[in-house]
């Protein structure tokens, strides 16, 4: 494989790696937004839960004490706790997803850097090779000129 073809191949790989890095960065932003949304949802729910629980407790205090009202209060409280716990678990899962996306973006960035360095080295090799070939051509031309001058001088 010629150096130019290898350079084309590495350029294509670099472009692909760049696209993959862009996609990874976009996915990180997506995960970050989802994480922020879930965090705010959990925060809003926690605030609502505290207020609602206080309202329910206030209603319980206002009623004549009954076991059914107390059980209803406990059931509602348990459902709210379960929902808050579910939101917490979803938040943890989104954090893990976000961290994974960040790791993947970092790996893509490192891969792009490596490919870029390889392409840069190859370009330098090609430039040096071309210079050497041009110098070789120039030397051949100088030799031909020297032969012509020497021939003319002998005539």
Percent of the chain scoring above 70 in pLDDT: 83
**In angstroms, rounded to a whole number, what is the distance separating the alpha carbons of residues 88 and 142?**
80
Burial track 22-49 (b if 16+ CB lie within 10 A, e otherwise): eebeebbeebeeebeebeeebeebeeeb
Model pLDDT, residue 59: 77
Model pLDDT, residue 64: 67
Model pLDDT, residue 126: 84
CA-based Rg of the chain, rounded to a whole angstrom? Answer: 36
Highest mean pLDDT, choosing among 46-50, 121-125, 137-141? 46-50
Of 7 and 45, more confident = 45
3-state secondary structure of 42: helix
User: Per residue in 81-136, pLDDT tens?
Assistant: 999 999 999 999 999 999 999 999 999 999 999 999 998 988 888 888 878 777 76
Query: Residue ranges of the domains in the chain?
Result: 9-123
Nearest to 28 by CA among 81, 101, 131: 101
Q: What is the pTM of this model?
A: 0.68
């Amino acid at each position: 494989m010629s150096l130019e073809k290898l350079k084309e191949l590495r350029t294509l790989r670099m472009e692909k790696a760049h696209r993959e890095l862009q996609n990874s960065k976009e996915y990180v932003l997506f995960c970050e937004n989802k994480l922020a949304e879930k965090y705010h949802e959990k925060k809003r729910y926690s605030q609502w839960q505290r207020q609602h629980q206080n309202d329910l407790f206030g209603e319980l205090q206002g009623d004549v004490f009954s076991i059914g009202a107390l059980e209803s209060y406990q059931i509602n409280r348990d459902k709210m706790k379960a929902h808050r716990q579910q939101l917490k678990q979803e938040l943890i899962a989104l954090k893990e997803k976000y961290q994974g996306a960040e790791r993947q973006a970092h790996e893509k960035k490192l891969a792009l850097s490596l490919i870029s360095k390889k392409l840069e080295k190859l370009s330098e090799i090609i430039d040096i090779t071309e210079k050497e070939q041009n110098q070789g051509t120039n030397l051949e031309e100088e030799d031909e000129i020297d032969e012509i001058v020497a021939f003319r001088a002998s005539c």
